[in-house]
Amino acid sequence: MPRKQPTARQERLGCELRKMREAAGLTAREAARLLGAVPVTMSQIESGVTGVSETRLRRMAANYSCGDGELIDALMRMATDRTRGWWEEYREVLPPVFADLAELEHHAQFMQVIGTAHVPGLLQSEDYARAVLAYRVPELPDSELEPRLAHRMRRKLVLSGEDAAPFEAVIHESALRTRVADRRVARAQLNALLSETERPNITVRVIPFDVDGFAGASSMMLYAGGAVPALDTVQRDAPYGSVFLDASAQLMAMRTLFRKVESVSLEPAPSRDLIHRLAKEM
């Protein structure tokens, strides 16, 4: 049965199958004929509106002469995954991108984040996150702010546990010094950040004001590693919400951006020292 509203993960699966077909030089009609299906079925699969079985997916890969076994296996796992995580509770409460982001983080093999305006969302304390969300224009009523805050706090679960994926954040000193609420909240946020760095999977690097060679990084960026590099995804803030990027050229550009930003940041130990000093100054 066709889905009313496919998730970003389901759409990504369809998109990758379309890329595979196009790389083989086949039209959707030709691919449907090889599969023994009608063209509308191919359109629905490639848009994520209709799911695809493991058998059909492997037939499609064979028809497309795709020899990348790791990619095929990764797509097969996406196609057969029936995980319904906590984020599903929010699909009828918040815009779909909120649940899609939590699902992306849940499946990420690693995460790399750049924060120049605020502390990244997964590292925010509750009071800090509330102040950031409340600053939105137009202001959110409590009936919308509270679920967004609860969702952001539950997203932090992905950082804990024995199987938590490696998480690296590069944060500019300006974000650490900015009091989005007041001195008390700012100090508590810095201390919370120090506590997070004690987790073995979390690395925090700081770009100090006095460093040479940093020309900015635009908006916040989350780089989420997929099961194979071709399935990596970038999430960036946009004026009217979040956007997910997955084109190969976009991924390459964002990998380069992270390396450039990381190269001018302090090592983890000096970064902790700087955060500790800032907390004492608050």
| 38 and 93 fall within a common domain | no
Number of domains into which the chain is organized: 2
Would 3 be classed as within a structural domain?
no
Residues 177 and 116 in one domain: yes
Same domain, 173 and 199: yes
The SS3 of residue 211 is coil
pLDDT for the residue 1:
64
User: 269: which 2 tokens?
Assistant: 């130990």
Global pTM reads 0.94
* CATH number, domain with residue 250: 3.30.870
Distance of alpha carbon 263 from alpha carbon 216, whole angstroms: 13
Whether 120 and 240 map to the same domain: the answer is: yes
E-assigned strand segments in 33-166: 111-115
Domain carrying residue 76: 8-80
Same domain, 262 and 222: yes
Q: What is the mean pLDDT of the chain?
A: 94
Same domain for 254 and 174: yes
**191 pLDDT more than 70:** yes
Instruction: Kindly report, residue by residue over 150-166, the tens digit of the pLDDT.
Output: 999 999 999 998 899 99
Q: Which residues contact 280 (CB under 8 A, 6 or more apart)?
A: none
> Residue 44 maps to which CATH number?
1.10.260.40
- Is the same domain home to 112 and 242? yes
Same domain? For 76 and 137 the reply is: no
Distance CA 252, CA 257 (A): 9
Which helix (H) or strand (E) covers residue 171, if one does?
Answer: strand 167-172
- Give the containing element (helix H, strand E) for 224: strand 221-224
Q: Determine the average pLDDT of the residues in 257-270.
A: 96
Inform me whether the pLDDT recorded for 139 exceeds 90: no
Note the pLDDT of residue 282.
86
Domain identity same for 183 and 57: no
